[in-house]
Structures are given as C-alpha cells and as structure tokens.
Structure 1
Amino acid sequence: MPEVVVEREMAAPAERVWRALTALESMPEVLSGVDAVEVLTPGPFGVGTRWRETRRMFGKEATEEMYVTACEAPQRYVAEADNAGMHYVSEFRLTERVPGRTTVRMTFGAQRTAGGRPNVFLRLLNRLGTKAVAKAITRDLSDVAASVERGPADGRPGAGGAGPTGP
C-alpha cells in the first residue's frame, strides 16, 4: 500500500496539540472513530509506550496493539503495530510556524510482513484504496483540532465532549 499523508493546521500551540495527541486514555472521548483504548505501559508517553486501540474501520471493529518507536516531544512520534502478517507505521509531525498555530502531518503506511497474509484491513484498503484511509485520518485530525481549539489551555477535555486524543 502506498503511504497516505494528511496535514491539518490547528489554531493551538504545539505543546497543547502534543498533549492531545499523546493523552491515550482520552482518545475515545475525542476521536469519533475510536471505541476503546487500553494503555499497557505505565508512565509518561515515550519510546516503548504500548496500547491497544479499538476502532471501527469500514464498518468492522478492529483492535491493534500499538507501540511507540520514536518520540521527540513536542515535534514527532512514530507508532507501529503488527497484526496478522501486517506491519503498520503511523508518524505524527508537529510544526508551529507561527505562534499559536500548529500544522500536524500524519503519515500512515502498511505492508505485509514475510509470510503474512492480507487481513481484513488490508483487503479493504486494497479494495477501497488510499482515499478511504485518507478520509479516516482527516476525520481524526479534525477531531483533534476541535479538541485543542475549543478545549482549555492545558489540552484536557473541554466542554461539549471535546478533549485530547492519541494516534
């Protein structure tokens, strides 16, 4: 599968956006596509952080165990997952070019591992194409933007259900 790249500018400082993107426990409150998150490692977000994320993709429920392989707060992190012969990589890059305005660039890629068989997610991707993946990522980033642009300065969930999120 080719890489999918989506960018979104948010009217919030990079630190607030970073907190929103790395507050794993709050993901289901913010991301409309995430049903549940189970954090598997204690402590602050960083390399080695692991969690299980359950979302609805193309009408099917899928749970992936994600793990952070690179983390340069508050500019970048990479989360990866392996499932059913597939390897997924998501990268978030934050750039605050103007104070109080942050661009988030999310890159997603998936590839079959040696001996892996295509799972439901890859079959759907192959059938529906990268447009559907880009649409889901765009929705996630819109949800994050709504959270950080309306939420309080500390990035915690605000009124009306808005709050921080994860990848």
Structure 2
Amino acid sequence: MGALNQKIVIEKPIENVFNIAVNMENSPAIMDQVEEIKKLTDGPVAQGTKYEEIRNLGGRRVQSILEVVEYTPNASYAVSSEQNGVQITFRYTFTPQGEHTLVTFDGTIQTKGLARSLFKGMIVRMISKEELFHLQKLKTYIEKNDSEDR
C-alpha cells in the first residue's frame, strides 16, 4: 500500500455512495478546502467531463481544472489535474460489501522539473492526510443522508 492509498467502508449501498461521490458539486460540503466547483461540460458525468475548482490553501485561493479520465458506473472513477508542474490523478474504486460499500482511494503524482521533484515527498504526505480526512467526511456526509442521490 503506497502513501496515496486510503480505504473506508461506508454503510450505504454502492449506488448511493457512487452517485454522491462522483457528483463533484458536493465537494464544498465534503472537502474543507474546496470553496467552489463549477461543471464546465454539458451532460451527465462521464469520461471527459471537466470542472473548475477553487480551493482555499492557507488563505490563498487556488483554481484548477479537473478532468474525469475514467468512469465506470458504480465501480470506479478517476480525476486528473495539473498545476505548476505537478500532475495529480485520484482514482476511487467502489466495491460492494453486503449492504455497505468499500471505497478505495489511490493517487498518483508526477512532477516536472527539479524544484517540483524535490517537494514530491511533502506533496504526497499532504495529499495522503487530506484524502483520509476527505474519505472520513464523505462517509459522514453519505451516512447522515437518507437521499440516494445528491
């Protein structure tokens, strides 16, 4: 298990968990740093869907474009973004566990240039910690919700 690998069981059926998790417009309610998110493409979420995301990182607003690079309904999706020489891909896999759902997060980071490469370890630690909190908040958000879609 790498540094960018987290797992959590959410006590809701896979369809409910997947639909809420893949709807990135829920991000401000689930992720502390996300202030705004706007879907840039038309239609339902699928491979190629793009979003503009604004995060508050230590008082600084940082904008990035997220692209869905993998999408298999009720099974997995992956989102990729690149900013300042750092490309990050987050992949979420959903596995039924009876009436519950195991959510697995795997992330990869690629850096360009020596300066970014020197900070790669720090970036990995920061994202790993952030993603654990994200999965915990996702679990709380979904389990407290009676609605199947958000």
TM-score (norm 2): 0.86
Q: Say if 2:145 is the partner of 1:151.
A: yes
Task: Give deviations 1:96-123, integer Å, cap 9, x for gaps.
Answer: 121x21011111111124x58629xx84
Q: Say if 2:111 is the partner of 1:112.
A: yes
Q: Which moved more, 1:18-27 or 1:59-68?
A: 59-68
Q: Distance in 1 between matches of 2:111 and 2:61?
A: 20
Q: Distance in 2 between matches of 1:151 and 1:139?
A: 18
Gapped regions of structure 1 (runs ≥ 5)? 157-167
Contact 2:34-2:55 within 8 A present in 1 as well: yes
- Give 1:74 deviation, angstroms: 0.9
> 1:159 — aligned with what?
none
- Give 1:58 deviation, angstroms: 5.6
Within 5 Å, which residues of 2 pair with 1:118-133? 118=116, 123=119, 126=121, 128=122, 130-133=124-127
> 1:27 — aligned with what?
27
Q: CA 1:37–1:145 in structure 2 vs 1: closer, same or farther (change >3 Å)?
A: same
Within 5 Å, which residues of 2 pair with 1:34-73? 34-57=34-57, 60-73=60-73
Gapped regions of structure 2 (runs ≥ 5)? none
> Which amino acid is the alignment partner of residue 16 of structure 2?
R
- Give 1:42 deviation, angstroms: 1.2
Work out the percentage of aligned pairs sharing the same amino acid: 19
Q: Which moved more, 1:65-74 or 1:130-139?
A: 130-139
For the residue of structure 2 that corresponds to 1:154, the secondary structure is: coil
> Which amino acid is the alignment partner of residue 102 of structure 2?
T
**Higher RCO (Cα < 8 Å, 6 or more apart):** 1
Task: Give deviations 1:49-84, integer Å, cap 9, x for gaps.
Answer: 000122234664432211011111111011111222
TM-score (norm 1): 0.78
Q: Which moved more, 1:57-66 or 1:131-140?
A: 57-66
Contact 2:90-2:108 within 8 A present in 1 as well: yes
Q: CA 1:36–1:69 in structure 2 vs 1: closer, same or farther (change >3 Å)?
A: same
